Amino acid sequence: MQNKSARLLAFLLALIMLGSVLAYAFRGGTSPGREIKAELGDGTELLKYTGGDEIIYFNFTPNSSLMILANAYLKNVFKDQVFRHFTLSSGASIREMVVSYNYTDGNTLYMIDIGRKKAYFTYTDKENYNGFEVRVNGPYAAVFQTSPILLGTYPAVLDAIDVYEGKKTNDIINYTSQIGYAEFMLVFKGDVLKNILSGNVSVDFYAVAYRMNGSYYEKVVAMHFTEPNVFFIRGNQTAYNYVKNMDGLSISIMGDYNLTKLMDAQPELRRVMIQMEQ
């Protein structure tokens, strides 16, 4: 009887562990491969396929302590109804993930990198779009012939294919490419950006990224100002701070051993007013 109870307890604990978000993301082992017709790239260059007002990038490969920041966002991500239809194969694990929310038209895109491992999507219909098989279930769609996998609302998935085919472009890559490597990144544009920024500065792009630089935690803040003579300057809130200003895009790179301190640190901004003598 005692052994039976122990086995039951072990089974229940296993179910709890399987239900956790991080267990979903970091599963490992062996898994059959799938056909890949198009490699969409990796790292923050993947953001060029998105069209959202709020974009989140996760890099799970380093498995560093920065995943503490990502965990809260991951829990909300997997609450989306689309994940009721999506399943990873046994042994597949997520390496990178991009999430794009477009609050203007209600479309959402998920780019899920599991290498060549398989995943499954329950669908009611499928169609061919520019040579790619698109699996459809109500408002949702999935494409497994790309790496990363494309998953989300039907229009967002097709838009990502159009970007790959060169039929659509996204200038966000002009900004995010200047940030470089990241383990976790948040990007805000449009009305979402207006709601989170205070003050009287005109900005159309804001991003904050976190990464490790040796034993330092590093935070990168990038803003594109739509008014002249506004830029970042070096500050002393963290162990080090480097600043780059170019064509309205300002980037502040801050590093420190203390993650909490780094999270609270903000770039210092300077506005230069030029007045012409009469």
What is the pTM assigned to this prediction? 0.85
For residue 157, the model assigns a pLDDT of 98
**Confidence (pLDDT) at 61:** 82
Specify the pLDDT at position 32: 57
Q: Which residues of 104-131 are buried (b: 16+ CB within 10 A; e: fewer)?
A: eeebbbbbbbbeebbbebebeeeeeeee
pLDDT band at 30 (very low <50, low <70, confident <90, very high): low
* Structure tokens, 100: 């794009």
* pLDDT score of 9: 37
> 277 is written with which tokens?
């003598």
Break the chain into its structural domains and give their ranges: 21-165, 197-271
Instruction: Determine which helix (DSSP H) or strand (DSSP E) holds 209, and give its type and residue range.
Output: strand 203-213
The answer to whether the bond into 32 is cis (omega within 30° of 0) is: no
Nearest partner of 264 among 254, 272, 273, judged by Cα: 254
| Confidence label for 71 from pLDDT (cuts 50, 70 and 90) | confident
Instruction: Pick the range with the lowest mean pLDDT from 68-82, 145-159, 204-218, 232-246.
Output: 68-82
Residue 22 or 168, more confident:
168
Q: Provide CB contacts within 8 A for 157, sequence distance 6+.
A: 109, 134, 141, 142, 143, 150, 151
Would you state the torsion angle of the CA atoms of residues 170, 248, 256, 47, taken in this order, to the nearest 10 degrees?
A: 0
Who wins on pLDDT, 216 or 22? 216
Residues 147, 130: Cα–Cα separation, whole Å = 16
pLDDT in tens, 191-203: 888 888 766 778 9
Residue 70 DSSP one-character state: H
